[in-house]
Each structure stands twice: as C-alpha cells, then as structure tokens.
Amino acid sequence: MNQTVAFSFALLFVSNALGQQVSASLDRASTSIGESVTLSITCIDFSPSSQPVMPSIPGLRFASAGTSRQFQFVNGKRTSSYTFNILVTPLKPGNYSISPVQVQHKTRLLKPKPLTLRVQPANQQPKNDNGLSQYAYVRLLPSKTSAYVGEVIPVEIQLHYIDGVNVQMPELTADGFNVAAFPKHKQSRMQKDNRIYQVLTFRTAATPLKAGELQLGPVKQSMVLRVRQRKSRRSPFNDPFDGFFDRYQQVPVKLEAKAQPVKVRPLPAANRPAGFNGAVGRYTLQAKASPLEVTVGDPVTVSIQISGQGAIESLNLPKLDWPGFKSYEPSVTTKKDNPLGLLGTRMFEQVVIPESDTLAEVPRIEFPYFDPIAGRYRVLAKGPFPLKVNPGDKPVAPTIAADSVPETEEPEPPPQTDILTIKHYLGSLGQATPLVARPGYWLLQAIPLLLWLGALAWRRQANALANNPRLRRERQVAERTRAGLAKLDTLAESGEAGEFHTELADLLREQIGLRLDIPAEGITGDIVHSPAARQQFSEDTRDDIRKLFTASDQASYAGSQTTGEMKAHLALLKELFCALR
C-alpha cells in the first residue's frame, strides 16, 4: 500500500515537472555589429522567482527589454506563459553560442536549449543618388561560405526599413544552386543609429549542385517607402501643430544586396561506399521487418526510417536487390520538423516476398551518406533479421482403394425408408413457451429504442449547450471555480503567497467577467468604477472586489503574507462569490 501511494506521488511529481518548461528563441539568427536582436525566454506553466541568469559571453551585451504574460484556455485546461525579452547587442563579429541560460523555479534550475547567433562585420550600405539607403536596405546572409556538393546551406534575407508598404518577395539569383521555396517570413524590430527599423526575415535553403567558386546572389527586393517631406522653412509663429501634419511621399524603390561567394568542394572519391546515392548530412537509421515467420509467397514488410539534418525530401534508399526475394516499389512518407525541411524523418515501407523456403534471414540494410562536418563517408546499418519461411505446397491426403476397408471402419447404419411416419407427440418442444410470450424477448426489442431515445436526448442537450454561449461559459466558470478554490486552500496551507494571489485574481476575473458578460482578461480593480459594475453590484460588493484586487497587487510586489491573511482573503472571496451569484 505504501509503495502504491509513493508511486502515485512520484507520477504526480513527474507530470507536473513535464508541464513546466523553458524555451528560448531569437527573432533573427544573423546580424551585424551594433544591430541588436531580441532573445525571448518563455516560461510555460510557472512564474519564475527571479530574472534569468545570462551567461557571460565576450563580444555580446545583454539588456532587459521587458516582460509579457499570456493566459489561454484550451479544452477547459488553463495554460500560462511568462516571457522575458532580452536585447542582445553584438560588439564584434563571430559565431556565438548563447548558453547556458538558467531560470530559477523554486529549488530547481531550468535550462533551455542553446542558441546560435552569427554576427558579421559592420558594413556601409550603398548610398543611392536619392539618398534613400538610410530608410531601407536589404542583406543576404548565408550561414556558411564553404560547403560540399549536396550540402544544404541555410540562407537569411533581411529587409530593414523605417516606414514602407507593398513589400514584395525577394528575388534571389542562385546559379548552380537548388533553392527551396520561402516559407512565411518573420517580423521584428531593430535599433540602429537612433533609428527604429522594421526587419522582415526571409529564410530559405540553397543546395549547391556543382563544385567550384559559385556566387549566391544578388538579391533584389521591391517596395514602396514612405518618406517624410521636410518643410523648406519654419513658421515665424510658434505653431503648436508644427510637425503634426507633416506630409509623406511614397517612393517606389528596388533594393539590392550584393552576391556572396561560396566555395563548393566536390565529394571525395576515396572511400566512397557502394550504394552511395548522394545523401549529404547527418542521419540516424531505424529499421524492422515483420512478420518474421511466413510461407513461401507471403509478403514481408520492411519499415525503414531515416532521421536527421539535411535535404530530407531528397533522400532515397539504395535498391534492395536481395537474392531469393521479389521486391516492389517502396511507399515513402516525409515528416518535416522545421519549415525549410532541413530537419525531419523520411520513412520507407518496402514489401518483399520470399520465393524459397531455404531463406533464413532478411538481409542487412545499409544506408551510406556523407557527413560534411566530419568530412568523410559513414554507413548506417541494421539487421540482418532472422526469418522462418515455411514451404508453400500443402501435403496431399493419401487415397484409399475402394475394395479395401479399414479395420477401424464402423458398420454402415441400416437404410431408412423414404416416408417417415407423422409424430403426434412433439415432446419438450411442444411444451415450450412461444417467443412472443416471453418478457425477455420484448426487453431485448426495447433496447434499441431506449438507446435511440437516449441519443436523441443527449443530442438535443448538446445542441442547446452549443447554441447557448452564456450557459456554456457558466459551466466552464463553475468548473474552474471549484478547482481553483481547492487549489487556493492548498496554497494557503503551504504559504505560497505569490501563486495564491495570482490564482485568486484569476478566479475573481472569471466571476466578474461572467456576471458583466465581458471578457475576463484584463479586468482589474478599476472595474468597480464602470457603469455596468455600478448597476450590477452593490456598494459592499464593489468594496470587496477592490479590496481583493488590492491585496493581490500588494502580494505581487510587496513580498509574502502570512497564512492567516491568505485564509482571510480566501474566506472573503467565497463570500463574494455567493454575493455575485
């Protein structure tokens, strides 16, 4: 019994731990000296007890850029996220790994995955004759300038502009490359030279098809800039509206980023494994065969899964020309783990049919590929798999001559006459109750009708609930309130003042939003001054609402509270809920 209880608590602890996660992301993976990027650190389903601990990295400067918080209800489950925004300003070029970032949660330290930031030297933007380069410019940023044939090169195209409209998709010239389609771009902001730029980041992937000194680019991008027209002279009068009615001129521009040289090396001919079909990247292999006991002519399905980083959609298996097996074309499915398709899984299902009962195994499966980081070929292998093949011909039953009679043969029964006499006495069958006279028969007949009536009633109730959003919200709020009050009792006993008042404020917002028929998000203590609150709530009720919101705010900023104070606030909350009903 004690072991069962301990195991249950362990499962509960693990489930809570799995729900609390930390993730980190950069709005851009490449930048230049002096141009900041935003690092977002998101805490899921918990509030951190302090600011994140940033690593000390020479060449990078970190500064806080504020926080944000979001709440979501999905299928009745509440999910929260607390995000720290960190401004990262590079001071010198290079490739940086932002790690380790540590977030304190109670007695544990949570660490997100490392991030990579590529910083290029600061370069002067080409100045046009009309001087518009200070308002907008475009950059071409390949992740590497040296690669092998077939190696995927992630590419970023960044458009920086102050104010503009009608932004077109970039046009990338890439002779000798296979360029993937652009997924949806990302939008962010950046400060440079006391100017705020909007930054649109377009990501793609370029795969070199031949060796040599290739050029990736140039990039051309069209848009319309909104440039403010300056007045030729200032009014001699002190006009308070001077500058408020400035005019803007729309100027069509075509921006261009110069091409970037890429040195492409051929795949080495030495030690090239047999069956290599051009796969370049880093992969893992999983394979299995089933069933492993068949009859000659029965199919065996070989499932092969290749996962990793590279051109996932172009992966192909070497032909499985196995002696003694008849094979068919495999079915192929692809799962992408990022929009560019550089991470993912390629799954093959190959059907083979053994043609002889002498086969004892499904042969070894090999997948050769070239690792561009190590600069050498690798071969992944699985198997062989033991196989049992039974003969396909069925044994023929021996025939017995007509004139020979087995010794164990029973004597033939005596012949019967063609016409049988009528039986006047039916025995137990004649004494049986007819089926229609049995109660169980009618009960069985009534079960489908009862099920149909129950389904009809349930359907009408579901339709009534779907067409009545007010009733649906009342049920959701009631369920949320029951769970929240139980949680508040536990938090009050354990002295968790911060989480106690956060949960208290959420429950209070839900009840007020339901009563006033307004969204619960954003409700504060100032709601008591609104006309709707004055009409719906009494003065005492408004005072209690204001008192609870004030206590919640004080607990968030002024430190912890005693257990007695939290229990008093919980009692006041329950009285307020009774008044709101």
Residue bearing the bigger pLDDT, 414 or 340: 340
pLDDT of residue 71: 77
**Are 73 and 55 spatial neighbours (Cβ–Cβ below 8 Å)?**
no
C-alpha 90/C-alpha 58 separation (Å) is 9
**Are 253 and 167 spatial neighbours (Cβ–Cβ below 8 Å)?**
no
C-alpha 531/C-alpha 31 separation (Å) is 51
pLDDT of residue 156: 92
* Average pLDDT score over the chain: 81
**Are 50 and 67 spatial neighbours (Cβ–Cβ below 8 Å)?**
no
**Are 259 and 199 spatial neighbours (Cβ–Cβ below 8 Å)?**
no
C-alpha 508/C-alpha 537 separation (Å) is 14
- What would the pLDDT profile of 508-556 be if each residue is shown by its tens digit? 888 888 888 888 777 888 887 888 888 888 888 888 888 888 888 777 6
C-alpha 227/C-alpha 251 separation (Å) is 7
pTM over 0.75: no
Q: Which of 174-178, 405-409, 436-440, 536-540 is the most confident on average? A: 174-178
The pLDDT confidence band at residue 16, using thresholds 50, 70 and 90, is very low
- What would the pLDDT profile of 44-59 be if each residue is shown by its tens digit? 887 787 788 888 888 8
Query: For the ranges 194-208, 265-279, 338-352, 398-412, which has the lowest average pLDDT?
Result: 398-412
Reduced to 3 states (helix: H, G, I; strand: E, B; else coil), residue 464 is helix
Q: Which of 24-38, 344-358, 413-427, 496-510 is the most confident on average? A: 344-358
C-alpha 308/C-alpha 280 separation (Å) is 11
C-alpha 560/C-alpha 558 separation (Å) is 7
- What would the pLDDT profile of 170-212 be if each residue is shown by its tens digit? 999 999 999 988 888 888 888 777 788 889 999 999 999 999 9
pLDDT of residue 504: 86
**Are 73 and 102 spatial neighbours (Cβ–Cβ below 8 Å)?**
no
pLDDT of residue 405: 46
Average pLDDT over residues 154-162: 91
Average pLDDT over residues 103-115: 80
pLDDT of residue 402: 45
Give the orientation angle of helix 539-558 with respect to helix 497-516, to 10 degrees: 150
Secondary structure letter of residue 72 according to DSSP: E
Token pair, residue 520, equals 């619960």
The pLDDT confidence band at residue 394, using thresholds 50, 70 and 90, is low
Residue with tokens 């809920």: 577
- What would the pLDDT profile of 353-391 be if each residue is shown by its tens digit? 999 989 999 999 999 999 999 999 999 999 899 999 998
Residue with tokens 């190590």: 374
- What would the pLDDT profile of 285-333 be if each residue is shown by its tens digit? 999 999 999 999 899 999 999 999 998 888 888 777 788 898 888 899 9
Token pair, residue 547, equals 């008192």
The distance of Cα 524 from the centroid of its chain, to the nearest Å, equals 33
Average pLDDT over residues 84-88: 86
Average pLDDT over residues 444-456: 89
Secondary structure letter of residue 328 according to DSSP: -
| 18 has a pLDDT exceeding 70 | no
- What would the pLDDT profile of 246-289 be if each residue is shown by its tens digit? 577 888 999 999 999 999 999 999 999 988 988 999 999 999 99
| 89 has a pLDDT exceeding 50 | yes
Q: Which of 259, 157, 264 is nearest to 217 (CA)?
A: 259
* CA angle, 542 then 70 then 496, to 5°: 65
Could you give the percent of the chain with pLDDT greater than 70? 84
**Are 377 and 273 spatial neighbours (Cβ–Cβ below 8 Å)?**
yes
